[in-house]
Amino acid sequence: MYLTDYHIHTSFSSDSEAPMEEMILAAIDKGLDEIAFTDHVDFDDRYTFTDYNLYIPYLEDLKHKYKNDITIKLGIEVGLENTKADKVNTITAAFPFDFIIGSSHSVKCYDLYFDQKEFFSTRTKQEAYNTYFEEMFKNIQTCTDFCVYGHLNFVSRYGMYSDNSVNYMEFSPVIDAVLKELINRGKGIEINTSGYRYGINDCYPDIEILKRYKALGGEIVTIGSDAHYAKDVADHIGAAYDMLNIAGFKYITIFKARKPQFIRL
């Protein structure tokens, strides 16, 4: 099986101190065939901004150094915000990324991590989660240059309710709208395994949403650990590959120059 981890952060992200080379060595050690580095760019002053004019040559040197051991792709995880679509589209167009994860880290300019209290304490779960997916729908329509939507039900990491999970049946109208819009635009989703490190014992999204993406015609799925430490590279990717099989997918997706390539499972 072709093993990939398409969601890895390094010290270039403001929330990681992991040297890029250490992440590569961990990936080789865990037997991965291919990885994509996806450091953060979010348009919020509370996050630092990566200088890609330094980043790209640095990554290219390491890619060359380890070319016989592992395939390394240049990626980015960009925070999608429909009110800042110009900024998002400018950064994604400016550099030759192989792979772009678009993620909702912020909803209506409330950063889900920094502004958790302000966003959730004034809304019921129904209101907050519906708003999260409605804004995601608008993000897909306005921030058009991305490959997969990141950790689709990430809102459940920060919700402040007795049950924070995103039950597909409970939010099916907005989730279906999001999935259909992604599929119509040729976009994929990722299976993000970080839920196992955040106490939900599952991936983002869960199998129900993955199955729904497939049932609606979706074919593009990447797998990512969202590692911010070397120990987390490839964490629980076996569970993600199992999910792909259970949901009936025949392929894992990789990207080159933002074009999907399909490798049989």
Residues that bind Zn ion (CB under 5 A): 77, 103, 226
Nearer to Zn ion, 138 or 157 (CB): 157
Complex with Zn ion: residue 103 or 253, whichever CB lies closer: 103
Q: How far is the CB of 265 from Zn ion (least distance, A)?
A: 24
Instruction: Report in angstroms how near the CB of residue 83 gets to Zn ion at its nearest.
Output: 19
Q: State which H helix or E strand residue 25 sits in.
A: helix 20-29
CB of 9 to Zn ion, least distance (A): 6
Output the smallest distance, CB 119 to Zn ion, in A.
16
Whichever of 98 and 226 has its CB closer to Zn ion, that residue is 226
Shortest distance (Å) from residue 148 CB to Zn ion: 12
- Pick the closer one to Zn ion by CB: 103 or 222: 103
DSSP state, residue 128: H
249 exposure class (CB count in 10 Å sphere: 0-12, 13-18, 19+): buried
Kindly tell me which of 198 and 251 has the beta carbon lying closer to Zn ion: 198
Identity of the residue, 226 or 235, whose beta carbon is nearer to Zn ion in the bound complex: 226
CA distance 83 to 33: 38
CB of 103 to Zn ion, least distance (A): 4
109 three-class SS: coil
Beta partners for residue 73, in sequence order: 36
Q: Give 255's contacts (C-beta < 8 A, 6+ positions apart).
A: 6, 36, 73, 75, 98, 99, 147, 222, 261
Integer angstrom CA distances of residue 42 from 5, 54, 176, 234? 21, 18, 26, 24
75, with CB counted inside 10 A (0-12, 13-18, 19+), is buried
